[in-house]
Amino acid sequence: MARIKRGLMRHKRHKKIIKKASGYFGRKKNVFSRAHEQVMKSGQYAFRDRRAKKRDFRRLWISRISAACDQCDVKYNQLIHGLTDKGIQVNRKMLSELAIHDMDAFRALVKQATA
């Protein structure tokens, strides 16, 4: 029976990891063991930061809405409480877009929420 040589599969696996690691600094881009470690760690960072990105955007929207509320002489929490009491369902992303691009519509929402 012939001997099985596994060099082909190992080469393919190494090439795949090295390709994913292209652009990394130092030996992490071309030494398999270092590249494999960094690709695994990069995957963990990507998984974590896909969730963190959602939190970061929510914080950004809230700070934009809060700044617009200051111009309308109302507090952020009063606006959100008024909107929920009146049954107006506008998410924070859309509120921040209104605050940036259409301040008149934002003021109308504030007036409805505080009335």
Cα-Cα-Cα-Cα dihedral sign, residues 14, 20, 23, 25: negative
For 30-48, write each residue's pLDDT tens digit. 999 999 999 999 999 999 9
Q: What is the pLDDT of residues 8-36, one digit of tens each?
A: 888 999 999 999 999 999 999 999 999 99
Q: Which residues contact 72 (CB under 8 A, 6 or more apart)?
A: 106, 107, 110
Domain residue ranges of the chain, discontinuous segments joined by +: 8-114
Q: What is the pLDDT of residues 61-100, one digit of tens each?
A: 999 999 999 999 999 999 999 999 999 999 999 999 999 9
In this structure, CATH architecture of domain 8-114? Orthogonal Bundle (1.10)
User: CA-CA distance, 58 to 113, in Å (whole number)?
Assistant: 21
Q: What are phi and psi of 104, to 5 degrees?
A: -65, -45
Which pLDDT value is given to residue 112?
A: 93
Residues whose CB falls within 8 Å of the CB of residue 82, separated by 6 or more in sequence, listed in order: 112, 113, 114
On the question of pLDDT at 58 being above 80, the answer is yes
Full-model pTM: 0.77
